[in-house]
Amino acid sequence: MQSILTDSEKAVVETITMKMHISPALEYLKDCGFKMSERTYYRYKKKVEEMKLQRLYFVAKHFQEQHLEKLDRMELIEYLMWQNYHKEKDPTKKVKILGTIVEMQPYLTSFHEAATYVIPKRN
């Protein structure tokens, strides 16, 4: 998925999303390959907070392509699950695969229904 954030900014957003305090956040960032000081972390945090509106505009601008990408991904996953179902010999595992396919149907339906809102109205 496209983003206007750098990888390090995305990682900082992840720490904010997980509501991490400073020490665990810095440890998390270090584990992700972004070792930074407390001061740098707060600078990044301030920057991403100030970019909220820009990020929303970006999402709105690219919503159609992101929606289609996610729909394509869900349909590919369903297709691969059916392939695995047909290859599987164990009846118990086949039932589990079928259950997973059934569980994803509401998501596919939602994506298809939402497509009517994504398509620009033409008169």
Q: Where are the domains of the chain?
A: 7-59, 62-118
Residue 120, phi then psi, degrees to nearest 5: -60, 140
* Cα 58 from Cα 2, distance rounded (Å): 9
On whether the CB atoms of residues 17 and 24 are closer than 8 A, the answer is: no
Write the burial class of residue 12 (CB in 10 Å: 0-12 exposed, 13-18 middle, 19+ buried).
buried
pLDDT along the chain (123 residues), means of 10: 84 96 97 96 96 88 82 93 97 96 90 73 56
Closest CA to 110 of 62, 74, 65, 58: 74
Q: Record the pTM.
A: 0.61
Question: For the chain, give me the number of helices (H) and strands (E)?
Answer: 6, 0
Evaluated on CA atoms 61, 64, 69, 71, the torsion sign reads positive
Q: Coil, strand, or helix at residue 3?
A: coil
Residue 8's pLDDT is 94
Residue 120's pLDDT is 64
